[in-house]
Amino acid sequence: MSKSLLFIPDISGFTKFVQTTEVEHSQHVIAELLEVLISANTQELELAEVEGDALFFYKEEELSSQERLLGQIETMFTAFYGHLKLLEKNRICPCNACATAHSLHLKIVAHSGELQFIQVQGNRKPFGQQVIEAHRLLKNSIDSDHYALISKELANDLELPIYYYSKVYRFREGKDSYDGKEVAYIYSLIDIEKLNLASFSQAKKVSFEVGPSIVLEQKFPISAESLFEYITNYTYRHYWVKGVEKFEYNENEVTRLGTEHTCVINGKHLNFISVTKKVGPGQVVYGELTEDIPLIDKLYQFYIIDPVSSTQCRLKLELYWESKSVLKKVLFSLVISGALKKNAKTGLNGLLQFVTEKPEPQTSS
């Protein structure tokens, strides 16, 4: 029987992150990162299990070359830290989970050996001593939380030099004992600055030469943090925005700058993207832009929340619209702006009724 590859990316700091931050958003952040790692699988590895904060991949009776293995490891580190950078730069949510996501790290363990398999509810899963050893290698004496570890057995199989080095890697030897058995490995700390992180488009703050076309204000009997969650979490939209047949959005994503969602009204799709603008000290803001409103080029709506106390806040809704055509702008003002203002008032009243009747969202464990 030929040897198989066992490959485990593991998110460092997961337990502390989940236990000390907002539950729902921490779950979304981890889910996003796991999806990023799965998408970064370039070597057709089989996913055996999602293990909370880790992924267990394998390649049955086949080992990658050292070049492909090191390339796969680098690709996953690059994708992981690139996504963390995206989360940090485009963050709008002030919660602890979103604010501290950048403190998460990645470690990867790779091992080789002959695999056995068992059937669990119709699924074929790797089983045996080599699987146990691969997972135990995650508990090692390396003084870091971002590294690549390759068992000595796998390194020998691939003829990977013990002290291999490159721009990204600088391997050294290590060993630990598990149940009285010594397991040797080589490992390299990963310098994030040496990774070629993918570029991403950072949404810009928008500014206006004139004031908003519509301004509505309302006081709310809940904390500013809770109101912000109800507004930015699209799961709640159908409770307080009426007349929309369907909201389409990524349910496993925390809303940030550049996040998109779609409102389906009378069969028509209105596409929105999250934006922001400068606000006063202590205020938080969430904005949306759509270019799908008739007679105008762009419609912006900003929800600006001002804390009053730990249990009260004030919301200001500002609407701006832009049109290159003076005629269209006049027609919009005459035909649509009144209905738009009425809908905005209805939305605020619906939001007030919803948050008054519903308890504040769960924000921590």
Residue 28 has a pLDDT of: 87
* Rounded Cα gap, residues 273 and 258, in angstroms: 6
Question: 3-class SS at 71?
Answer: helix
Q: Which residue has the tokens 């488009």?
A: 201
Question: 3-class SS at 30?
Answer: helix
Token pair belonging to 250: 């990524």
Q: What is the DSSP string of 30-91?
A: HHHHHHHHHHT--S--EEEEE-SSBEEEEETT----HHHHHHHHHHHHHHHHHHHHHHHHT-
Ramachandran angles phi, psi of 25, nearest 5°: -70, -35
Residue 357 has a pLDDT of: 87
* Rounded Cα gap, residues 60 and 43, in angstroms: 12
Of 228, 210, 241, 217, nearest to 320 (Cα)?
210
Token pair belonging to 18: 């989940």
Task: Please state the pTM of the whole predicted model.
Answer: 0.81
- How many angstroms separate the most distant Cα atoms in the chain? 83
Residues contacting 113, CB < 8 A, separation 6+: 3, 4, 6, 128, 129, 130, 133, 153
The β-bridge partners of 149 are 109, 187
Residue 254 has a pLDDT of: 87
Residue 359 has a pLDDT of: 58
* Rounded Cα gap, residues 150 and 59, in angstroms: 15
Q: Which residue has the tokens 């390299």?
A: 188
What's the number of CA atoms in the CB half-sphere (13 Å) around residue 304? 19
* Rounded Cα gap, residues 73 and 81, in angstroms: 12
CA distance from start to end of the chain:
47
**List of domains in the chain:** 4-194 (3.30.70.1230), 214-357 (3.30.530.20)
Entry field: residues in the chain = 365
Residues contacting 293, CB < 8 A, separation 6+: 270, 299, 321, 336
Decide the pairing of beta strands 268-275 and 260-265. antiparallel
Angle ∠(265,271,273) on CA atoms, nearest 5: 140
Q: For residue 345, give the DSSP letter.
A: H
Per-residue model confidence as pLDDT tens for the chain (365 residues)? 689 999 999 999 877 887 777 778 888 899 999 999 999 999 999 999 998 899 999 999 999 899 999 999 999 999 999 999 988 888 888 888 888 898 999 999 999 999 998 888 888 889 889 999 999 999 999 999 999 999 999 999 999 999 999 999 999 999 999 888 899 999 999 999 999 987 665 566 798 988 999 999 999 999 999 999 999 999 999 999 988 999 999 888 889 998 999 999 888 999 999 999 999 999 999 999 999 988 888 999 999 999 999 999 999 999 999 888 888 777 777 777 888 899 999 999 999 999 998 755 554 43
Residue 363 has a pLDDT of: 47
Angle ∠(319,317,311) on CA atoms, nearest 5: 170
Q: How far does Cα 293 stand from its chain's mean position?
A: 29
Of 315, 345, 340, 346, nearest to 213 (Cα)?
340
Of 46, 90, 63, nearest to 5 (Cα)?
63
* Rounded Cα gap, residues 28 and 97, in angstroms: 9
The β-bridge partners of 319 are 214, 301
Residue 364 has a pLDDT of: 42
The identity of residue 188, as a single letter, is S
Per the CB < 8 A criterion, the answer to whether 126 and 115 are in contact is yes
Token pair belonging to 309: 């106390």
* Rounded Cα gap, residues 81 and 67, in angstroms: 21
Residue 120 has a pLDDT of: 83
Residues contacting 357, CB < 8 A, separation 6+: none
* Rounded Cα gap, residues 221 and 227, in angstroms: 9
